[in-house]
Amino acid sequence: MSDEKPRTATEDLAKQRVAHYDYYHDPRTFSYKLRKTIKPKEKKIKERKHALVVRRLIDERGKHTGTVIDIKSPALCEVLLEINAGVEGLELSRHEAVASTELMYYSHDGLIKRLAVERDKEPQDQTESLIVDIIAAIHVVEEDLAHTLLGITQLTSEGEITFDLLWALFKPNSLIYSYHSPTEQSRMLLVRRIEYGMHMDRTRYLKLSCDILHDDGNLFGFAREHLEITEYRGVRTITDLPTYPLQYHPNADAVYAQAIEMGKRYVQMPQHSYHEISGLAVREGGKFYTSGRVMISPSAFHRFQPNSSYNPSVRRALRKDDLTDDNYAICTPILLGFAFDRKSWGAFAMSRIKDVRWNDDAFGALVLGHKQKTLIHGLVRQHASKEGGFDDIIEGKGKGLIGLLAGTPGCGKTLTAEAVAEITHKPLYAVSAGELGTTPDYVEHKLTQVLELAQLWDAVLLLDEAEVFLQQRNATDINRNALVSIFLRQLEYYRGILILTTNMAEQVDRAFESRIHFSVYYPELGVAARKSIWMTFLNKISLDVSKEDLDRLSEHRINGRQIKNVVSSAQTISLANGSPRLKLEEVDVVLGVLHDWQSATQTPARAT
């Protein structure tokens, strides 16, 4: 019994350290006042200084709208601050410390652990008043919030929760699991604070203010994201919520480990990173499909898409070499960059990006003369090595490599630029002259952007259909003269590889001759060249054709791009017919349609 009496006496003391009041509106004085909450009659005890004052908030209509707890014990306040270190929005540091019932609920386990620590100390090191105050705080949670505790325990044991009790799931500074619908991938966040709110249509919601680790193009560190859970009726399975605590995930350990792995991959990515991707991406206007190559480039995204909602600003910077596993777990899986096939900035799912598979044989497949191949191959290889070479007398000038490819459409100009990018392992940034505009001021602005990005990404820049910038100047067309002059000036200081294409070589201004390092003319494809292109595309899809059939296909006077389109269309027809393998008959069907079109437009369809 001697062991039991001190415990009982301590608990009696703890109860005396708690007071209950109503904070109500007095209609006679039009002010709020305090009165003791009506409690069952108990044996009169000696009044002591209180450690906690539980205040029920009563509105003008006499309705109980909430409860707050005034923390009067400085020692207890310090304990609560330690338990909730890093939690935002605390009012415990004020002169008059106040705790919400939610904060007391979140602190319950921490208080029990701290009480055990204090009781395990040697008698001379124990602080009896602190032990009493901790017990008093535990009693407030377990007695004043008994109904709430019971409801939470019963529901969560069944893996369910009501909307009104949702707050109990999301303890500040805990990890939560969420599905990011725009990029269709899972992610983890660190919940910082929660609050209930109401939309204009009177729909209630729970707002979660969360942190992620993110590179905003300027800093790496904590950025804020806000999630919402819309009000629902009755109970809902916790794992059916759009976001919920990680601990409730059926595969929590595996999800956590995968998030750490993804986070480490994110942190190790360079500032500009080139990848392949296939699948959905997202931009401000909504989702879009991309299949090709992307440049993940947070700094460029930050500069050219400054108001994007997908790039929250970093609030507190972190060093990348000081990260914990929890830090890695909340690294965003949303990558910011540029899709070259769609020519669009966007946010991309990390789960969809892959390393680039370079085609080092691309140059060998070009239908081009040997000496032209040798010249281009040697120049681009040497320039890509960044060794040797001549500089202009003026610092910064003449360090680029500029090529001009001229010829009719579909003769291999674009394919040459693609091959240059492949053998140098550089991105290909293709821009048509029409995308740069027509007015001198706008052209200069856009061209500066394009050249800057190409140089930033160390890309091969392809300026397609560049006639408007290459045409000879004259005394009457002031606008054209301005465009050509702007273009000439920009070329002087460009340091990368730039390939220009034109269908009108005879109209190129003489001033470009001294600025272009190699010029190649592509004649109209002959039978031998067409045969080589047919073989290239048919081999890609493993379609064997006889020599006679290959000769017959090569007689059609169509260009390389048309051959590619014929094979692609025939393959689509084959798949639509349920056949996984392309047949020559399907190629002939597409060629027949093309022949009819050429005949109708008076374009000769076959060689004579």
Per-residue pLDDT tens over the stretch 240-279: 999 999 999 999 999 999 999 999 999 999 999 999 999 9
pLDDT at 203 over 90: yes
How far is residue 606's CA from residue 608's CA, in Å, rounded to a whole number? 6
Q: Which two tokens stand for residue 225?
A: 């994201």
Give the model's confidence band at 475: pLDDT under 50 very low, under 70 low, under 90 confident, else very high: low
Q: Quick one: which of 309, 291, 289, 292 has its CA closest to 301?
A: 309
Residue 140 has what DSSP assignment?
A: I
CA dist 226 to 186, 203, 212, 291, Å? 16, 17, 10, 30
DSSP three-state, residue 165: coil
- Which H helix or E strand runs over 289? strand 286-296
Q: Looking at per-residue confidence, does 561 or 324 come out higher?
A: 324
User: So what's the pLDDT on residue 580?
Assistant: 74
| Average per-residue pLDDT for the chain | 86
Give the model's confidence band at 605: pLDDT under 50 very low, under 70 low, under 90 confident, else very high: very low
pLDDT at 602 over 70: no
Using a pLDDT cut of 90, give the percent of the chain over it: 48
How far is residue 466's CA from residue 405's CA, in Å, rounded to a whole number? 10
Write the pLDDT tens digit of every residue in 312-335.
999 999 999 999 999 999 999 999
How far is residue 459's CA from residue 576's CA, in Å, rounded to a whole number? 38
DSSP three-state, residue 508: strand
- Interval 77-89 mean pLDDT: 90
Q: Looking at per-residue confidence, does 353 or 368 come out higher?
A: 353
H helix intervals, 404-477: 413-424, 440-456, 467-470
Give the model's confidence band at 397: pLDDT under 50 very low, under 70 low, under 90 confident, else very high: low
How far is residue 345's CA from residue 308's CA, in Å, rounded to a whole number? 10
User: So what's the pLDDT on residue 411?
Assistant: 86
How far is residue 40's CA from residue 394's CA, in Å, rounded to a whole number? 94
Question: Would you give the end-to-end CA distance of the chain in angstroms?
Answer: 117
Give the model's confidence band at 206: pLDDT under 50 very low, under 70 low, under 90 confident, else very high: very high
User: So what's the pLDDT on residue 220?
Assistant: 97
- Interval 76-90 mean pLDDT: 89
Q: Which residue has the tokens 């060629």?
A: 591
- Interval 281-298 mean pLDDT: 94
In contact, 137 and 114? CB cutoff 8 Å: no
For every residue of 19-86, which 3-state class applies, written as one string?
EEEEEEEECCCCEEEEEECCCCCCCCCCCCCCCEEEEEEECCCCCEEEEEEEECCHHHHHHHHHHCCC
How far is residue 437's CA from residue 447's CA, in Å, rounded to a whole number? 9
- Interval 58-70 mean pLDDT: 81
User: So what's the pLDDT on residue 38?
Assistant: 62
In contact, 605 and 598? CB cutoff 8 Å: yes
How many residues does this entry show for the chain? 608
User: So what's the pLDDT on residue 608?
Assistant: 35
DSSP three-state, residue 7: helix
How far is residue 363's CA from residue 299's CA, in Å, rounded to a whole number? 32
User: So what's the pLDDT on residue 387?
Assistant: 52
pLDDT at 377 over 90: no
- Interval 109-122 mean pLDDT: 90
pLDDT at 13 over 90: no
Least confident of 14-23, 154-163, 425-434: 14-23
Write the pLDDT tens digit of every residue in 217-229.
999 999 999 999 9
User: So what's the pLDDT on residue 204?
Assistant: 96
Q: Which residue has the tokens 């040798």?
A: 374
Full-model pTM: 0.82
Give the model's confidence band at 115: pLDDT under 50 very low, under 70 low, under 90 confident, else very high: very high
CA-CA-CA-CA dihedral for 546, 550, 551, 555, to nearest 10: 150
User: Got the DSSP string for 171-227?
Assistant: -TTEEEEEEETTTTEEEEEEEEEEEEEE-TTS-EEEEEEEEEEEE-SS-EEEEEEEE
- Interval 39-56 mean pLDDT: 66
Strand 243-245 and strand 286-296: pairing? unpaired
How far is residue 155's CA from residue 237's CA, in Å, rounded to a whole number? 9
Q: Structural domain boundaries of the chain? A: 9-158, 162-355, 362-522, 527-599
Give Dmax over CA atoms of the chain in angstroms.
118
pLDDT at 144 over 90: no
Backbone angles phi, psi at 193, to 5 degrees: -155, 160
- Interval 46-64 mean pLDDT: 78
CA dist 272 to 212, 340, 412, 549, Å? 21, 14, 29, 47
Q: Give the CATH architecture of domain 362-522.
A: 3-Layer(aba) Sandwich (3.40)
Give the model's confidence band at 493: pLDDT under 50 very low, under 70 low, under 90 confident, else very high: confident
Give the model's confidence band at 522: pLDDT under 50 very low, under 70 low, under 90 confident, else very high: confident
pLDDT at 391 over 60: no
Query: What is the side-by-side order of every strand in the sheet holding 401-407?
Result: 428-432, 460-464, 497-502, 401-407, 518-522
- Interval 193-204 mean pLDDT: 93
Q: CATH fold of 527-599, please?
A: Helicase, Ruva Protein; domain 3 (1.10.8)
pLDDT at 539 over 60: yes
Single-letter residue type at 454: A
How far is residue 280's CA from residue 401's CA, in Å, rounded to a whole number? 35
pLDDT at 39 over 60: no
How far is residue 542's CA from residue 526's CA, in Å, rounded to a whole number? 24
- Which H helix or E strand runs over 335? strand 334-339
Q: Which two tokens stand for residue 126?
A: 């124990």
CA dist 35 to 49, 67, 353, 559, Å? 17, 14, 64, 93
Give the model's confidence band at 160: pLDDT under 50 very low, under 70 low, under 90 confident, else very high: very high
Backbone angles phi, psi at 6, to 5 degrees: -60, -35
pLDDT at 490 over 80: yes
Q: Quick one: which of 143, 149, 116 has its CA closest to 130?
A: 116
